[in-house]
A = this chain, B = another copy of it.
Amino acid sequence: MSNYKTIEAGQLVNIFKALANDHRLKIYTILTRCCTSGTLCTSDEASRYCVGDLDSQLDIAPSTLSHHLKELHRAGLIHMKRDGKQVFCSVNTEIMQQVHTIFSAKPVGVTQ
């Protein structure tokens, strides 16, 4: 009935599953920080990190990181794009917006 965007309940639970892990939440947090605190930033200049750069901040095996990135990607939380030998990751700001909406209003914007 409503004409604003909603997240389907099944997808929402996958989003929470994806963020329900220390390493994945840290990855998402790193990708979410696009600029230094106190500086200005526009919403669409999300930061890009290649997998190797993330790995250096995480103390887990590359295969484990790869698995976690796949989970975040499956949930639609991040973008992944190969550029030469490297794969670059960035947040999906659109999904971020929608999750934001869910926590903002009652009744919640979830279709069942």
Contacts and interface: CB of A to CB of B under 8 A. Distances in A.
**Could you say which interface size class chain A belongs to?**
20 to 34
Contacts of A35: 106-107
B43 A106 contact: yes
A10 B22 CA distance: 8
Instruction: Give the copy number.
Output: 2
Contact of A34 (B9, B33, B106, B112): B106
A87 interface: no
Nearest to A107: B33
Contacts of A12: 25
A3 interface: no
A17 interface: yes
A78 interface: no
Interface of A: 1, 9, 12-13, 16-17, 19-22, 25-26, 29, 32-35, 37, 41, 43, 46, 96-97, 99-100, 103-104, 106-108, 110, 112
